[in-house]
Copies of this chain bind each other. A is one copy, B any other.
Amino acid sequence: MKGEIVAVGTELLLGNIVNTNAQYLSQKLADLGIDVYYHVVVGDNLNRLTETIKTSLERSDLVITCGGLGPTADDLTKEGVSQAMGLKLLPDEESIEKIKRMFNSTGRLMTENNIKQGYIPEGAVVLENNNGTAPGVLIEKKGKIVIMLPGPPKELYPMFENKVLPYLKAKANSTIRSKVLRVIGVGESTVEYMLKDIFDSQTNPTIAPYAKDGEVHLRVTAKTDIPEEADRLIAEMEQKVRAILGDNIYGCNEEMLEEAVLKLLQKKNLTISLAESCTGGLIASRLTDIPGASASFVSGVVSYSNASKVNILKVKEDTIKNFGAVSPQTAEEMAVGAKTLSSSDIGLSITGIAGPDGGSAEKPVGLCYIGIAAGNSVNVHKIMLNGNRNKIRWSSSSRALDFLRRELLSM
């Protein structure tokens, strides 16, 4: 099957936003074994949009659009697709009711133009949107498929996963299966070096590394006619890779580091509390982003000022005076403080310099200390990170979670 992705929106053509939807959809279609030959971006202009859809339908079996489904006069994707395919756009009572209900339930005023979102091309399937007001649309006509998705990734991703993926899986003919092994603690070039023999000899399954947010993701992909055979090939490859990378692999597929940590905590029936300085709540936020975090996560303190380290976490004033807020001694007392304050099994602390200011020759931007208090002992780890404030905050939160994970594995 030949696929094509058409993003609709003048904001893309002005360079206000980058076309991450095309990347997301491309990855998903590649996993399904659907060849993507083109991406197109077209603005909020009915003529150009209609012409674009016509061209796409001539050369591709599957056209996925994103954007332009909203309530405003600029939102023209359904109009363009309907014109290109010779379909009427009709009110869909169920969709309109749902939009009205969404406005009612949140107490917001529904303006008349919102009704437009409930108009659907004749004969099309409505894809319910649980994260916004504009429903998606799926059309099958004369062997061609057009799928229209909303533009915001928070709406597009779940709609694709829940509605489109199962539909396309049933359509795709040969089976491509893949599994991602998620690696942390070693860089991409080191992973490549460690796995050189495997990389050099790969045919089916293939294995490809991607660096992402300080992690390395290894995608193992097998292509066969029999699904079970693909699974067997992937399992064999995974075994080989695990024999070399060991505990550096923290999870698979969509599993995030914070999920892996929470799973270990739950498995070992342990609770945790945090004391964060440089990460300013990012570790707490990452952990509580996972449903069910409350089973293990008790509390977090963002002790941004020295006074809050002393008053809330009971770090000794002398410790800060003698060694500084960014020191192994402060990290240690913060970890113990967090653990004690919440009577949890483990206290995890982090203190460091995220920049851009606050660094010195002795304590440069990127220096962080991570403390882990468990039972009667505390381990403190020192790390040095590169990059801007954002990157340092993210990487240090990941390293803290990874140190915790490795400690939990050995408990």
Q: Which residues does A use to contact B, with CB under 8 Å?
A: 7, 9-20, 22-28, 30, 36-45, 48, 52, 55, 70-74, 102, 105-114, 130-132, 152, 154, 158, 178, 180, 187-190, 192-193, 199, 208-213, 217, 219, 221, 273-274, 276, 279-285, 287-289, 291-294, 297-305, 307-308, 311-312, 341-343, 355-357, 384-391, 393-394
Contacts and interface: CB of A to CB of B under 8 A. Distances in A.
Given A19-B39, A39-B19, A299-B301, A281 B285 contact: yes
Contact of A282 (B40, B45, B74, B285): B285
Nearest to A342: B308
A160 to B, nearest CB: 13
Nearest to A355: B291
A390 B376 CA distance: 36
Nearest to A278: B288
B294 A285 contact: no
A27, A178, A212 interface centre (most CB from chain B within 10 Å): A212
A183 to B, nearest CB: 13
A158 B388 CA distance: 9
Given A12-B22, A154-B394, A285-B285, 8 more contacts: A16-B219, A18-B20, A73-B199, A130-B386, A281-B283, A284-B285, A291-B355, A294-B305
A289 B285 contact: no
Given A23-B17, A299-B302, A341-B311, A192 B388 contact: no
9 contacts: A18-B20, A39-B41, A44-B208, A55-B55, A71-B189, A72-B189, A107-B384, A154-B213, A294-B304
